[in-house]
Amino acid sequence: MRIAVFAGSLFVAALLVTPALAQQRPALGPTDGREMAATDIDRVAIGQRAPDFTLARMGGGTTTLSSFRGRKNVVLVFYRGFWCPYCIKQLTGMRQLLDAEMKKETELLVVSVDDSTGTQKTVARISADGVAPDFGFLSDPDHTVIARYGILNPNGGSRGIPHPATYVIDREGVVRWRDIETDYKIRPANEAVVTAVRALPRAASR
C-alpha cells in the first residue's frame, strides 16, 4: 500500500502555512515522543513541522535536521538497511535525484538503523559501478527517530527497521510531500520526488 500526498488541495493548503505559524508548533524531537506509538504512519503529515533530530553521520560528526532551517530544503529518506536489495536499488538511483542547481538549495539525507559497518556496505553496493553517492548517510541504531516519525515496521523483528519513507521538507522545516510504503518492494520514482522539490519556493536572491 502506498501513502503518498502531493498536489491538489492538500498541497496548496500546506503551502499556505506561514513561517510564523510554523514557529508556533513545538519542535518535538525523538526524546519528546517516547510515549508515542512507534507505528503511526499518519503522524508526520503534510503541513506539519518535521520532528527534529541529531544523528551520527557517516564520515564523522553529527547532523541535526533543524540546522538546515532558513538555509536549505531537505529530502529525508528512511531505508531498511544494507541487506535490502530494494533499498540499494532506490539509493543507487537517487545519485541522480538532484542536479547541480538543485543541490544548492536542497540537502539529501538517508537514514537507517545500520551501524558504521552496515552503512559502509550500503555505500560499497551503491558504488559498485564506480560512482559514489554524495548524500549524507545517518545512523539511527536504536530506531528512536524512526519511531518518532511513526514509521517503525511492526513486522520487522528486533532490528527496528522502518517502512520505507521519503519526506520533502522546506526551509521552514515543514513537510510538503511524503511517500510511505508498507510494501517494502515499492519506492517512489525520482520524478515524483523531484516534482515535489521543484514545487517548493525558491530562495530569495541575494
Q: What is the mean predicted confidence (pLDDT) over 15-23? A: 41
Q: What is the pTM of this model?
A: 0.86
In a domain, 166, yes or no: yes
Cross-strand pairs, 52: none
Phi then psi for 174, rounded to 5 degrees? -100, 135
Q: How sure is the predictor about 156, in pLDDT bands with cuts at 50, 70 and 90?
A: confident
Most confident of the ranges 12-16, 85-89, 155-159 = 85-89
CA–CA distance, 50 with 149 (Å, rounded to integer): 8
If one compares 23 and 87, the residue with the highest pLDDT of the two is: 87
**Do 46 and 10 meet the contact criterion of CB atoms below 8 Å apart?**
yes
Domain of residue 49: give its range.
2-17+29-182
The C-alpha cell of 123 is what? Answer: 555505500
Cα 100 to Cα 159: distance, rounded to the nearest angstrom? 36
The pLDDT assigned to 7 comes to: 39
Instruction: Give dist(CA 149, CA 39) in Å, integer.
Output: 8
**Does residue 72 come out as left (phi exceeding 0), alpha (psi in the -120 to 50 range) or beta?**
beta
CA distance 196 to 54: 25
Residue 189 within a domain: no
Query: Is position 160 within any domain?
Result: yes
pLDDT score of 72:
97
pLDDT at 1: 52
Confirm whether 194 is domain-assigned. no
Cβ 129 vs Cβ 45: under 8 Å: no
Q: Kindly report the average pLDDT of the chain as a whole number.
A: 88
Q: How many domains does the chain have?
A: 1
Q: Which CATH number does the domain housing residue 53 bear?
A: 3.40.30.10
pLDDT, one tens digit per residue, over 81-107 is 999 999 999 999 999 999 999 999 999
Residue 159: pLDDT over 50: yes
Q: What is each CA distance from 97 to 26, 34, 161, in whole angstroms?
A: 31, 33, 24
pLDDT at 71: 96
Mean pLDDT in residue range 61-70? 96
Residue 156: inside a domain:
yes
One-letter amino acid of 201? P
Per-residue pLDDT at 110 exceeds 50: yes
Does pLDDT of 11 surpass 50? no
- Please report which helix (H) or strand (E) contains residue 112, including its range: strand 106-112
| Nearest-angstrom CA–CA distance, 43 and 128 | 36
Please indicate, yes or no, if residue 197 is contained in any of the structural domains: no
What does the block give as the cell for 7? 498536489
Q: Grid coordinates in use for 60? A: 564523522
Residue 123: per-residue pLDDT: 97
- 195: in domain: no
Residue pair 137/98 in contact (Cβ under 8 Å)? The answer is no
- Judged by DSSP in three states, 82 sits in coil
Position 51 in a domain: yes
